[in-house]
Amino acid sequence: MMATLAERTAPIRRRLPAVQQTLDAVRRVPVLGPVISWLRLDFAGSVVGTFFFCWSLTPSLLPRTWYYQALVTGVTAAIGYAVGVVFGTLIRFVYRRVRKDHPLSRRTVRIAWASFGVVGTGAATWYLFGSARWQSDLRELMDVDSPRLIHYVLILLISFVIFAGFLAVARLLRGISRWLGRHLARWVPIPVAVVTSGLMVAAIVIWSWTGLFYPWLLGAANNAFAAINQETVAGESPPTITTHAGGPGSLVTWDSLGRKGREFISDGPTAVDIEAFSGRPALDPVRTYVGMDSAETSAGLASLAVRELERAGGFQREVLVVVTATGTGWVDEAAADAIEYLHNGDTAIVSIQYSYLPSWLSFLADHEQVDIAGQELFDAVYQRWLRLPEDSRPQLVVYGESFGAVGSAAAFDDLDDLVSKVDGALWVGPPEWHPMRQELTANRDPGTPERLPVYQGGETVRFWGGWQEPMDVEGWRQPRVLFLQHASDPVSFWSPELIWSQPDWMREPPGPDVLPDLNWYPFVTFWQLTADMAVSALMPEGHAHNYGGELVDAWLMVAPPDHDWRAEKLEELREMVQSFDHEDDSRLW
């Protein structure tokens, strides 16, 4: 016969007195006693926190270093504990109301804690070993070295320290709330005092963050990055060719370009470099860039950029690329070099700077600024382009990567507006909130995946997952719109909705560099992808937010040159583009 509950729990109950004696002895130790008493945890919070701890060790999109995993796990466990405390408090409140004459006995509580200790320890151990296997599999997919076994012990220890730090802050706030409640109870009923004191502490915390710390942190960050913007990397110098901004005859000075602008201008190839590579006659490419110090508004920057582009002869080139930069004003060197080599320098690239801050900080501080910059720059270039004779206009192409892809799309009302104005669009690693991507994905052809949707049979728009997922261009009409997004790119798939709902792409078969063990968990998956974004550009070529040599193939699709390239030269160009050090703020998107 099946054993009764009492029989199954008998071994645990027999050990309870010994366990209790041990705990009492530990509490009498001068140092450990106060620590144990302070660390006394809420049961529901501990259960949910353990679930979150275990879930945080499950695979995400990207492999992590052990110390980064410890940070993610510690924060996730603290979030889970807080969620559990809230739900546990509500459950206890209801239970006491309904079963006020039948409180839980101390024996029942001890059995619950003992059972939880056994199950929780077993689950944590199993997930730690599982994490080692998952991380090994994921690193093998991306050709990254695996951590050592000792690192998983450190993950456990450091995540506990981080959890304890958050718990200490929460206990401090609770203590303040109780102190206020005791004083308020002298004049108002106790329930009113408890609620009022809690709301007062919450209001103080919110005000301190929104009205004090957050503005101060943003101001400090802006000042710090503004200072960095004035720096020049060793080895960079003003250009000696007239087709580059900041060079001879330029309307903008070298110093006004900002750090990212100077990097973009100084690193480009010359006609001599391109001829040596291709063996064909080449031109010095036009690179036009205007830094924030050159005008007070985005409209002023865009107007100056058009005049500088005209001075450099950009409107007489074969291809004209309007680039919306990322937060600090970074323009991907790989994208620029790829199209310049493919077209033998008969190109012009124009961009402006709209912020000193990395994209994630720019998004928090003023996320509308990228849209304004993208609109102003494209509209200014487009109006000047329209005045050219129709048979002598260059191909007009728009480009944006990461946060810049959002600003690039903001210049157009919809897909029809886009294809009526440009000869091609390339958006690389676009965030989930990219307006046109959202619309196209929502209205994708039935049966096609959310990760790589097909829209209207792919006649105008295509979604490409990179080298690991080859794509046929047959039936793709001009002008072409291409979204390049890796299956493992968290920048392309992060969204606030991950907190409470599972997206379609996580229900679909995984991409070539995503583990099939990837699952969705409330709160946890959101935090995992948030953490993944910070290291997404550090992954090897062809994974996550590192696109590099794939941009050669992307440009061949969107803006193909009028001459054929030998396969071996294209492969050499891909390797050359891959070799760039992508030190950009898209590492933090």
Q: SS3 for 399? A: strand
Under a CB-based contact definition with an 8 Å cutoff, are residues 478 and 422 in contact? no
Distance of CA 32 to CAs 77, 121, 385, 497, 517, Å? 23, 21, 75, 42, 40
What local confidence, expressed as pLDDT, does residue 286 receive? Answer: 96
Phi/psi at 143 (5° precision): 60, 55
Chain-centroid distance, C-alpha 244: 32
Q: How far apart are the first and last CA of the chain?
A: 61
Question: 108 Cβ partners below 8 Å, 6+ apart?
Answer: none
Under a CB-based contact definition with an 8 Å cutoff, are residues 357 and 416 in contact? no
Q: Angle 106-142/5-27 helices, nearest 10 degrees? A: 90
Say which amino acid occupies 241. Answer: I
- Residue 522 and residue 338: Cα distance in Å, rounded? 41
Distance of CA 21 to CAs 17, 104, 181, Å? 6, 22, 35
Where exactly are the structural domains of the chain? 11-201, 238-486+547-584
- Residue 554 and residue 424: Cα distance in Å, rounded? 11
Copy the structure tokens of residue 378: 């494209």
Sheet architecture: strand order including 286-290: 286-290, 347-352, 319-324, 395-401, 424-428, 480-484, 461-464
What local confidence, expressed as pLDDT, does residue 514 receive? Answer: 92
What local confidence, expressed as pLDDT, does residue 36 receive? Answer: 46
What local confidence, expressed as pLDDT, does residue 366 receive? Answer: 63
Choose among 307, 482, 479, 481: nearest CA to 377.
307
Pseudo-torsion of CA 66, 67, 68, 73, nearest 10°? Answer: 80
What local confidence, expressed as pLDDT, does residue 585 receive? Answer: 45
Secondary structure in 3-state letters for 51-92: HHHHHHCCCCCCCCCHHHHHHHHHHHHHHHHHHHHHHHHHHH
Q: pLDDT tens per residue, the chain (589 residues)?
A: 445 545 555 555 555 565 555 545 545 545 444 544 556 788 888 999 999 999 999 989 998 888 888 888 999 999 999 999 888 888 877 777 776 666 667 777 788 888 888 888 899 888 888 888 888 888 888 877 666 667 777 888 898 899 989 888 888 888 888 888 888 888 888 777 778 888 888 888 888 877 777 777 777 777 776 676 666 665 677 888 999 999 899 999 998 998 899 989 987 899 999 999 998 999 999 999 999 888 889 999 999 999 999 999 999 999 999 999 988 888 999 999 999 999 999 999 999 998 877 776 666 666 788 899 999 999 999 999 999 999 899 999 999 999 899 999 999 999 999 999 999 999 999 999 899 999 999 999 999 999 999 999 999 999 999 988 988 888 999 999 999 999 999 999 999 999 999 999 999 999 999 999 899 999 889 989 988 988 888 888 889 999 989 999 999 999 999 888 888 999 999 998 876 544 444 444 4
Question: 50 Cβ partners below 8 Å, 6+ apart?
Answer: 77, 80, 116, 120, 123, 124
